Amino acid sequence: MSATVAATPRSHTDASAARASRPAGRRHQARRPRRRVGAALGTNGILVVGAAYMVLPLLWLVFATTKDASTLYGADAFTPGGSFVANLQRLLAEDGGIFLRWLGNSILYAGAGALVAAFVSLMAGYAFDKLAFRGKGFLYGTVLVGVLVPNTATVIPLYLLAASVGLTNTMWAVLIPAFCNPFSVYLARVFTSGYLPDAVLEAGRVDGAGPVRSFLSIGLPMLVPGFVTIALFQFVAIWNNFMLPLIMLQDRSLFPTSVGIFLWQSQVQQNPEYSPLVIAGSFLSVVPLVVAFVLLQRFWRAGLAAGSVK
């Protein structure tokens, strides 16, 4: 199951209209070569500008990571300085190596959150798609309401509730909200309907498998791409989350990288020596995600394709 996902019909309702494998880009050639060169230059030129707009700030970050405090303010932005290794060493040694702790926390929260959220969402999405039960419409409606309410509007209520039971400043304060993502349930339902033909499940049932067993032994394996996609989306969402951990956590050994770097940034005014740390920390936070993105591209496309279905 690979690149064809991108070209598959978006949903069953469009099945009649959509045409699957049309190789992207190979179309009927235009008849006027001169106009075509101009169009090509214009089109690709704008795309280059767009790509440059996206990439140059990251390039700046890479170069800035090589500079120390004095060359950061004043020297040319896009020339390499000599302090790359020194900055990284300082980053990893600062405050007893707390940056690595922060990275570890981010990975823990995002990883555990993503895995549990994906599993829980898949179960729920499967139920919504394959099972019939009373109140299904109502329950799915509440899921959709959950999708429509912005994350940040519930952060302070979450804090208030957690504070009332004394759970703030623990990792559960960050993990439990991470496990719950209504949008993932929606995605899971789409994936289930796309990847899991009823016939296969029926066959399993005829063989005597109960619904739970058929889900675990038949459904899940077929849903692996969906699982990975949902998990990936949730991983990124949790890794990026800022307001929730900022509010919930006071102990800096529990911070994820987003909050940790913010803590350093808020000390830059008093102590300008924190600037290179902030930049080097930003660099190290960005690299793993960029690598993950490039390697796991197809799951992204699958997720976004599915997500654009209404």
* Stretch binding another protein (CB under 8 A), from 84-92, 97-105, 224-232, 262-270: 262-270
User: Does position 6 bind another protein by CB under 8 A?
Assistant: yes
Cβ 52 to another protein shortest distance, Å = 9
Q: Which two tokens stand for residue 60?
A: 């700046």
Q: Which of 88, 92, 200, 282 binds another protein (CB under 8 A)?
A: 282
User: Does position 33 bind another protein by CB under 8 A?
Assistant: no
User: Does position 92 bind another protein by CB under 8 A?
Assistant: no
Q: Closest CB to another protein among 209 and 228? A: 209
Q: Which of residues 134-163 bind another protein (CB under 8 A)?
A: 134, 136, 139, 142-143, 145-146, 148-161, 163
* Stretch binding another protein (CB under 8 A), from 18-26, 84-92, 96-104, 223-231: 18-26
Q: Which of residues 40-69 bind another protein (CB under 8 A)?
A: 40, 43-44, 46-47, 50-51, 53-55, 57-58, 60-61, 64
* Stretch binding another protein (CB under 8 A), from 14-22, 83-91, 97-105, 220-228: 14-22
User: Does position 276 bind another protein by CB under 8 A?
Assistant: no
User: Does position 100 bind another protein by CB under 8 A?
Assistant: no
User: Does position 299 bind another protein by CB under 8 A?
Assistant: no
CA distance 279 to 147: 34
User: Does position 296 bind another protein by CB under 8 A?
Assistant: no
Cβ 16 to another protein shortest distance, Å = 10
> If we measure between CA atoms, which residue out of 53, 233, 8, 219 comes closest to residue 123?
219
Size of the site for another protein (CB under 8 A): 133
Q: Closest CB to another protein among 40 and 224? A: 40
Q: Which of 36, 80, 100, 216 binds another protein (CB under 8 A)?
A: 36
Q: Closest CB to another protein among 73 and 85? A: 73
Q: Which two tokens stand for residue 133?
A: 């039960």
